[in-house]
Structure 1
Amino acid sequence: MKKSIHLLCILAMCTTIACVPAKKLEDLQVKYDNLQSDFDEMKTMKEYGDNTLASLREQYAALESEYDQTKLDCQEQKVDFERTQASYEILNRNYKNLVNSNETTKNDLRYELERLDKQLDEKKRELFAKESSLQLKEKESAKLKTELDALEISLKEREKRVNELEAKLAAQEKSVKDLKDKLTTSLIGYKNSGISVVEKDGKIYVSLDNSLLFKSGKTDIDWKGKTALLKIAESLKDLEDFDIMVEGHTDNVPMKSASIQDNWDLSVLRATSVVRYMTTEGKMDAKKIIPSGRSKYIPINPAKTSDARAENRRIEIILTPKLDQLMDILK
């Protein structure tokens, strides 16, 4: 579970802000935020439900114990009542038999009879109170059991959805690893030619040095870069569960020419050239790939040296797992 939550955190940085397709990136960010919020809420509700279920079970057990004791008291009260009633009937018969006996005996029996009448009424009231209490506890017990059953069903459903979510996250993690391995294998011949494939924050970054793709200040792709891009396109053209972003990055040296206004322009045009080539010559679906320019603002190496600037001039193809299936689970 911790590993899944870690992957969710990793997915939090899945959507980057692009210069060209702002609407697409905003939609991805909203999807991710909703996913994170729903996941946390579901987890909190599950923990709250577990605590509530334990409390209700304790109440239910206490109520059952009290119910059993009340039922036992009621049965004992009934036996006592029947015993008193039998005594009353015996005395009543004796009273009638002795009604004509001496006055003293008659008075004593009358007094005893009245006492037993009062005692019988009191026993009746006690019995009625016990029966009423028993009926009330039966209703409370039935209500509590209904609530327990409903809560258990709800918790099982939430647990099922959490398990489904964890399975999807694990499957996405595997697909990221498999795709990275596939790209690494297909580009093994370019290992020392300015191409790297890394997995970071739940995404795959295919980084290509500008020296492989473009001449200085140009946006036309060099033949060496075209060969590498075709291999990448071959690995990605049938990809379904990833969003594909092509980002152009420049160094911090200001750029301006007749056709290029600044570093923003250069980074966007280079990313667009790569996307155009991968969709036309590489036969990738243009609906699945987005070009974006980041100018000089996300350097790999912040040092102010020629080597650092060369390292920062690059094209990054960023592959981000889609969140659609995860969001369907949380609906």
Structure 2
Amino acid sequence: MSSNPSSVHSESNTESPTAKIHTRPWAATLILTGGILLLLLGMALSISFGAADIQLGVVWKAVFNFNPDLTPHQIIWEIRLPRVLGGAMVGACFAVAGAIMQGMTRNPLADSGLLGLNAGAGFALAICFAFFPGMPYMYIIMYSFLGAGLGVLLVYGFGAASRSGLTPLRLVLAGAAVSAMLSALSEGIALYFRIGQDLAFWTAGGVAGTKWSHLQVMFPWVLGALIVGLIISRSITLLSLGEDIAVGLGQRTGLIKLLGLIVVLILAGTAVSVVGAVGFVGLIIPHLTRKLVGVDYRWIIPCSAVMGSLLLVFSDLAARMINPPYETPIGALVALIGVPFFLYLARKERRTL
């Protein structure tokens, strides 16, 4: 008789974490299949629209039967196709980085832009342009990783200095302060070394300058980071339920956090090196994804990647349609959605403190 209560108690302990994991596989499957189809349509529209409008039939022929003697085919392959692929890749990077950060820290306000990663990577880019002009893109990405890491260290260092500890809201405030400081330093470097025009593209945010050489360098980094993110996705789910639960189930939380941080640095650093200061993607998309598919990160990470790609591709398309033939910075369009969303979350978080 004495063994029965203990067995019941142990079963309740092992089943309690899974009982908290609410998932909707059917919704995730619908997002992945429908989202990919919609993404392909958005990419086709983005390629066809521009200063020289190109019919979708011509886009199809240029992609699958390229003729270098035709000017529309050259425009598609040399300018528009790498641009739209870069936008899709960058959207996936920001969204997955935000999802992993929110899962590991259990902080609903976590985002690479809000926590200093983007500003840190931008600061590193300013140093590259000022002191190492003409540096190969491979090294620019490496500097972006280091800059993003510097931003994280400063944010967590300042945020943890308070006696009351590192609350989610205090972390965001520290991120805002560090981002402002690093952005000011970047602008100071730009003014002193007269590289403001070179840095303006990354400050505004955009994928217009994306080339095939950029994609060739960034693709292995992004692919490797996404694969690692998927491998540790189950552990991130357990961390999102509480570190005590993860430790009780035998998870090596220190190793998972280190791997997750490396993945976030790679994704955020790569994205900023291509598109510049585009914030709020990693804040909006993971929240929307969790509402749709539940809290299992084995579904959240791939669905966030698809939805982040959708957001950036259609934002880039809208950026060219608002005031043709001029382009509106993507960062401004995303901020129109992101700022109200952030204020709503901050207000909701303050009520729970």
TM-score (norm 1): 0.24
Q: Structure 1 or 2: larger strand share?
A: 1
**Larger RCO, structure (CA 8 Å, separation 6 or more):** 2
Task: Give the TM-score of the pair, scaled to structure 2.
Answer: 0.23
Structure having the higher helix fraction is 2
